Amino acid sequence: MGLLELNRDIINGRAGGRTIWQPRIECWFDDREYRREPLPGRYAGCSRRELYEKLGCSDRLYVFNSCFSRHYDETIKRTSERLDPFTTKTTLETPAGSVFNISRGNTSNPGQMPVKWFVENEDDLKVFTYIEEHTYYTYSQERYDELYAGYSHLGLPAVFSPRTGLQNMLIELGGVENTYYLLADSPELVECYFEASSKSSERYFELVRNSPFEWVNFGENLHCKITPPEYFKKYVLPEFEKRRSLLPGKFLYAHFDGDFYDYIPYMKSGCFLDGYEALTPKPQGDVTLEQMLEACGKSSFLVDGIAATLFSDTYPAECLIEQTKRVLNMFEGRLILGISDELCSDGSLERVGLVRDIVEEFNAKH
């Protein structure tokens, strides 16, 4: 069976206990591409797609996110200015005012971090409320067909959605300190932004609902020490419930990738989700595999499950082998096996191949 068909059968509960090995290695790859560092050994010169083909494993195909584009209407003007080789200033001008952020890169990877956030006060947030109200999305079936022709042999096309309002403020717009000060001082204003964000996302989900995508990720990056359970319950779960109603028939799963022990009471009831991506076990995360099983309840799928740190030589390969076999047996029938969250920059492709062999042996018994 091909990886596309196996991926589809697993999320529809008809794979007979088999799983698929679907590690995310794009950051590992992107770091080397950015540094112009050749890939090791027999992988030298490979594109990302060729790398997956040589490794003999599936790719979680978020490359299909490029089928969707976000746009502002004609009342919003966006400009970018390079301040130095690593620093960029981005400005958004609207009838409600202007906002800007400054982000800075580095020499080791393509990532950038804000040194000045878009939203630092009430006026900034009012501008972003206006922006959400004047945002729309487009979908390209032509792009989908192009990607499907080139990548579908590696798995089932996937897409991740815009974050819920609170998570977007924390991660993209304001950071932790600005967000929680605003939420404490001006809750009505913040909740007005959340409502505008929610309505904006409806326009996105309408496109997803009518698209060929069969499984949809909510790319939240949830961490219970940053988004505490009371805010998770108040601001995130209602959005998950709404999205469930907007996307009938789709397999819905959310991206966690931080500590989540304090979420377990809410997660094991389902959270209106079919699966959880990047729940991270010890020695990297804050939970055991048994607690992860409790979080998944009686029906939810685990998407990923192996601690990323075990792919580094910080830990002996025996630790990786043991955790892999335990995850396979504990979550049998409800598992898309992957790395929680991605292959670390000092991770080993040979260890990726080691897990592939374990999965092949496991699947052969079914």
Model confidence over 140-185: pLDDT tens digits?
999 999 999 999 999 999 999 999 999 999 999 999 999 999 999 9
Domain range summary for the chain, segments of one domain joined by +: 3-364
DSSP assignment string, 300-315: PEEE--EEGGGGSTTS
What's the distance, CA 263 to chain centroid? 18
Say if residue 192's pLDDT is above 90: yes
92/90 Cα distance (integer angstroms): 7
Q: What pLDDT, on a 0 to 100 scale, did the predictor assign at position 239?
A: 98
Model confidence over 215-245: pLDDT tens digits?
999 999 999 999 999 999 999 999 999 999 9
Tokens of 332: 């049998």
Q: What pLDDT, on a 0 to 100 scale, did the predictor assign at position 1?
A: 64
According to DSSP H, which parts of 247-302 are helical?
Answer: 264-267, 289-296
Say if residue 117's pLDDT is above 80: yes
Model confidence over 245-276: pLDDT tens digits?
999 999 999 999 899 999 999 998 888 999 99
**C-alpha count within 13 angstroms, C-beta hemisphere, residue 366:** 19
Model confidence over 129-139: pLDDT tens digits?
999 999 999 99
Of 356, 3, 1, which is closest to residue 158 (Cα–Cα)?
3
101 close to 127: Cβ distance less than 8 angstroms: no
303 close to 253: Cβ distance less than 8 angstroms: yes
The H-or-E segment that residue 83 falls in is strand 77-84
Q: Which residue has the tokens 């042996």?
A: 361
Q: What is the architecture of the domain spanning 3-364?
A: Alpha-Beta Barrel (3.20)
Q: Which residue has the tokens 């469930």?
A: 244
Residues whose CB is less than 8 angstroms from the CB of residue 184 and which lie 6 or more positions away in sequence, other chains included: none
Of 304, 310, 291, which is closest to residue 337 (Cα–Cα)?
304
Quickly count: other Cβ atoms within 10 Å of residue 315's Cβ. 16
Pairing of strands 301-303, 306-307: unpaired
